[in-house]
């Protein structure tokens, strides 16, 4: 029998920026603190062309203002995002982002894999990790059903073949289940290759979508605006948590704009924090 890790056993909770992407720094820092979080992510580069992001330049007054707000509100930055590795990506273009991340004290950077040539993507991921290393950054490769890096297996193979000491797999509870994975496949990876595990994004959702064969668009809409609070859905979250290495950082990525559009950003962030805290501190034993 394994107990779901408590907050005393886990690092403090972080809020993924996607949860409240309409709010940027420095206001983001106040909102995160007011909601109860001790850390946050910041989207410094867009996830898609034309997407929302908040560029901050190392050494700029804007960045100094954010750091001052972080110090006054006792908020840290866990991760920065998003590095998109596409067919024509020049990974050196992201070095200014790494400089900013280091100045913010960030620990991790999130990567999406958009190049269908997996061998080329693997080589670029390895190069990216080398560029990030002097800045003290760990690099997490995320998988999503609609991208070339679509499954846990694909992501873990890329990270392993890159041989990067600071390269890891980012695990998202929703993406794991919607890509055909399971807590059993996660458990197998955690037991055989625990050093590949980087960070974990916590959210909930129905175990299966009501559609007989959900389209890619429906899967994307759910991921970007229709996630549920931990404990509200049917994903095997406790089983997933029990698989993870003890010190795996946990962030809450729960964009709810489509699910609860009547709530303000602060109300959403507060509900997310309270639900995450309650879920992770409940003393529930499970069989792993």
pLDDT in tens, 74-130: 999 999 999 999 999 999 999 999 999 999 999 999 999 999 999 999 999 999 999
Quote the tokens at residue 284: 């529930």
Listing DSSP states for 29-86 in one string gives: HHHHHHHT-SEEEEE-S-SSTT-------TT-HHHHHHHHHHHHHT-EEEEEEEEEE-
pLDDT of residue 6: 41
170, 198 Cβ separation under 8 angstroms: yes
CA nearest 166: which of 112, 122, 125, 114?
A: 125
The lowest-confidence range among 100-114, 203-217, 273-287 is: 273-287
pLDDT of residue 257: 80
> Is the confidence at residue 3, as pLDDT, over 70?
no
At the topology level, CATH places domain 2-286 in TIM Barrel (3.20.20)
CA torsion 26-51-221-242 (nearest 10°) is -50
What is the distance between the alpha carbons of residues 74 and 57, in angstroms, rounded to a whole number?
Answer: 22
Residue 212 is given by DSSP the state S
At residue 256's C-alpha, the angle toward residues 253 and 261, to 5°, is: 160
pLDDT band at residue 287 using 50, 70 and 90 as cut-offs = very low
User: Coil, helix or strand for 96?
Assistant: helix
Using alpha carbons, list the distances in angstroms from residue 135 to 96, 132, 147: 11, 6, 28
pLDDT band at residue 211 using 50, 70 and 90 as cut-offs = low
> Is the confidence at residue 212, as pLDDT, over 80?
no
Average pLDDT over residues 23-52: 96
pLDDT band at residue 210 using 50, 70 and 90 as cut-offs = low
pLDDT of residue 5: 44
What is the distance between the alpha carbons of residues 33 and 43, in angstroms, rounded to a whole number?
Answer: 17
SS3 of 265-283: the string is: HHHHHHHHHHHHHHHHHCC
> Is the confidence at residue 230, as pLDDT, over 50?
yes
pTM for the full model? 0.92
pLDDT of residue 143: 98
pLDDT of residue 286: 43
Every domain of the chain and the residues it spans: 2-286
> Is the confidence at residue 49, as pLDDT, over 50?
yes
258 or 20: which carries more pLDDT confidence? 20
User: Coil, helix or strand for 236?
Assistant: coil
Q: Please give the sequence-ordered ranges of beta strands (E in DSSP) within 156-219, or none if there are none.
A: 167-172, 197-202
Please state whether 248 falls in left (phi above 0), alpha (psi between -120 and 50) or beta.
beta
CA nearest 139: which of 120, 119, 157, 165?
A: 165
pLDDT of residue 208: 81
pLDDT in tens, 152-195: 999 999 999 999 999 999 999 999 999 999 999 999 999 999 99
Average pLDDT over residues 247-267: 91
Quote the tokens at residue 64: 């100094």
pLDDT of residue 244: 94
Does 26 sit behind a cis peptide bond, omega within 30 degrees of 0 on the bond before it?
yes
> Is the confidence at residue 285, as pLDDT, over 80?
no
pLDDT of residue 288: 39
């Amino acid at each position: 029998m394994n107990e779901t890790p408590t907050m005393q056993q886990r690092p403090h909770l972080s809020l993924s920026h996607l949860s409240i992407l309409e709010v940027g720094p420095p206001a983001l820092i106040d909102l995160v603190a007011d909601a109860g979080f001790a850390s946050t992510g910041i989207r410094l580069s867009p996830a898609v062309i034309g997407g929302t992001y908040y560029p901050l330049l190392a050494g700029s007054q804007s960045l100094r203002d954010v750091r001052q707000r972080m110090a006054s509100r006792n908020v840290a930055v866990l991760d920065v995002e998003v590095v998109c590795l596409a067919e024509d990506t020049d990974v050196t273009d992201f070095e200014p982002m790494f400089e900013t991340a280091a100045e913010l004290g960030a620990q991790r950077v999130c990567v999406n894999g958009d190049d269908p040539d997996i061998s080329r993507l693997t080589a670029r991921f390895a190069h990216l990790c080398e560029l990030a290393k002097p800045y003290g950054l760990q690099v997490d490769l995320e998988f999503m059903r609609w991208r070339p890096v679509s499954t846990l297996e694909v992501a873990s193979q890329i990270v392993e073949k890159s041989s990067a000491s600071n390269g890891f797999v980012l695990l998202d509870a929703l993406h794991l289940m919607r890509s055909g994975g399971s807590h059993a496949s996660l458990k197998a990876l955690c037991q055989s290759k625990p050093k590949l595990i980087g960070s974990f994004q916590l959210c909930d959702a129905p175990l299966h979508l009501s559609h007989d064969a959900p389209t890619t668009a429906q899967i994307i809409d759910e991921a970007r605006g229709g996630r549920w609070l931990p404990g509200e859905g049917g994903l095997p979250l406790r089983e997933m948590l029990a698989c993870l290495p003890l010190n795996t950082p946990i962030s809450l990525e729960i964009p709810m704009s489509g699910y609860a559009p009547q709530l303000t950003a602060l109300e959403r962030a507060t509900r997310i924090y309270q639900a995450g805290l309650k879920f992770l501190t409940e003393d529930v034993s499970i069989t792993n």
